[in-house]
Amino acid sequence: MTRADHILLGQVLTLDDAGTRAEAVAIADGRVLATGSRQAMLELRGPATQVRDFPGATLIPGFNDAHAHMDSIGTRQLRPSLEGARSIEDVLARIGALAARTPKGEWIVTLPVGDPPYYFEAPATLREGRLPNRHELDRVAPDHPVYIPAPGGYWGQPPGYAAMNSLGLRLNGITRESAPASLNTVIEKDADGEPLGIFAELGFVNVLEPDLLPAVPRFTYAQRRAGIASAMDLYHRAGITSIYEGHGSAPEVIAAYREMWERGDLTMRTAMTVSPRWRDAGEAAIAMRDWSPLLRGRGMGDAMFRVSGVFIAHGGDPCVRAIQHRELDYMGWSGYVQQVNSTEEFEYLCELAGQYDLRVHTVVSDKLDRIVPVMERLARRYPIGERRWVLEHISRSLPGDLAALRRLGVATTLIPAQYLWKHGRPFLRVDPQALDYLSPARQLSELGVPVAAGTDSVPYDPLFCMWAMTTRRERTTGRVMGRGGMVSNDVALRLVTRAGAWLTFEEGEKGQLVRGHHADIAVLSGDPLAVEGDALRDLSCSATMVGGRWVHGER
């Protein structure tokens, strides 16, 4: 008889098809050996078995964040925070303290002004209702270039504001004649037309740095690797054991993950997709041809690290593309390369991917009605369902398009907190019945479309994601964004745990606490199926296990 390495006692939600509950789980060689009663599992104890009792807790399969942006959270850990500053003088005191311990001439680059993780209405969090200007920053750091960046538009809600002192402006060549390439960037000026050192970014995509600020330090490869390591710990603390980065990751980011994997330092099961740096269709054809031996089908890697397929964007601002092409290496906070493609360009690139058996991953947003016809045409030539192409980040949808997804067999992901809570306000004008189909978790689940949910990193909390799916409450008004779209706690929990395995062909390996599956477990403070409404957000994760190894809590 195989003896267990670990026996964990507590309420166990196996999330198998029958919804089986157990009193304990036994683990051997990094996989689930069995689940059942406490007595039955304790009979599998051997001389070296470690037994842990979690009274009052609930053990579930580890969360699988289907749109994680973990490396983005990592880069945010690398810069000094201005959190808690409530006036310009508070900000200046922080900058002055940094200047006192930074060698003269070196850059001081902080996190944005405001309250993380969203930085909503950041200037309003300061008493003066604005950021410090160049002259105020000069007063505390005359010998250092200083830059306070704007938060990413996707972190919270545009606009975002940045500030820079006189030395920083000079190093970047910013003068009264400087003109942004994008209409979404504003250089604030004084009465004489001179730059004040304050910039506004009105769009969701940050283009200020690649457009106007070439001298601002970029994240290095070593910094990105260090950021991933710190963010991995934060995600484990939230009970996350797997991430899927289908939005695409730049080569340096993939390389950083791969190095950690090769060294044995990667404790997060990580699935990635290439964010390409091609400039046109010709370069795309060459790249796909050369990548296909490694990235076709299920790609390369193992159960801890895997890269497959390519991200191809649909839509976007041509001005953003022009700025990106001037500095293709620039990734900023995002960790991926901005793409902009018309529907025609998108279809051509997807056709190339189909020829080379490369899985396509694309962010849909509210353009599902434009993308579905493209997928239907491609499905006549390529088995895109069998290859598990993924349509991500679905917001608005129509019943006919969802039915088409069922016929196509493609996989889907949703970001409920993004569209239902954080950025729900623009959808308040939508017909109430149409709101049922905003972030349509219920409809996709009932249709049998493979669907998983992700956090989008703000916040990186799967329990918050579950809360958004079950309550569908908009952030500023509290309005329910379509009662017909609400899902049960059980469906929501499966979408943030078990469902993500389908995205990586691993539904037989992880996502359930059943014999033979990876022993990936989150220990929650309560039963996520037994609480309602806001109580979901009050639950916490006390311990996390990946492959039979504690990565948070019980170490």
Query: How high is the mean pLDDT of the chain?
Result: 96
Segment (H or E) for 240: strand 240-249
| Cα–Cα distance measured from residue 104 to residue 155, given in angstroms and rounded to the nearest whole number | 32
Tens-digit pLDDT profile for residues 5-17: 999 999 999 999 9
Q: What is the pLDDT of residues 356-387, one digit of tens each?
A: 999 999 999 999 999 999 999 999 999 999 99
pLDDT at 197 over 90: yes
pLDDT for residue 153: 79
- Average pLDDT over every residue of 75-93: 97
pLDDT digits 0-9 by tens, 444-476 = 999 999 999 999 998 999 999 999 999 999 999
Q: What does 334-382 look like in DSSP terms, one character per residue?
A: T-S----B-HHHHHHHHHHHHHTT--EEEEEET-HHHHHHHHHHHHTTS
In percent, the amount of the chain with pLDDT more than 70 equals: 100
Q: Tens digits of per-residue pLDDT, 310-355?
A: 999 999 999 988 998 888 889 888 899 889 999 999 999 999 999 9
* Per-residue pLDDT, 166: 98
What pLDDT shows up at residue 8? 98
pLDDT band for 555, please (50, 70, 90 cuts): low
**pLDDT tens-place string over residues 94-150:** 999 999 999 999 999 999 999 999 999 899 999 999 999 999 999 999 999 999 999
* Sole residue written with tokens 């019945």: 433
Asked if residue 110 lies in contact with residue 267, where contact means CB atoms within 8 angstroms, the answer is: no
Across 46-50, 201-205, 228-232, least confident range: 201-205
The vertex-275 CA angle with 274 and 276, nearest 5°, equals 100
Counts of helices then strands in the chain (DSSP H, E):
19, 21
Instruction: Tell me the C-alpha distance between 339 and 277, whole Å.
Output: 9
Confidence class for position 443, pLDDT limits 50, 70, 90: very high
pLDDT at 1 over 80: no
Q: What is the mean pLDDT of residues 79-85?
A: 97
**Residue 152 reports pLDDT greater than 90:** no
- d(CA 484, CA 438) in angstroms, rounded, equals 10
**Two tokens, residue 367:** 């353009």
- CA contacts within 13 A on the Cβ side of 289: 6
The pLDDT value recorded for residue 412 is 98
Non-local (6+) Cβ contacts of 337 within 8 A are: 248, 250, 275, 276, 277, 324, 328, 331
* pLDDT(254) > 70: yes
Q: How large is the average pLDDT for residues 519-533?
A: 97
pLDDT at 213: 97
- pLDDT, position 427: 92
* Residue whose C-alpha is closest to residue 391's, from 446, 338, 434, 439: 439
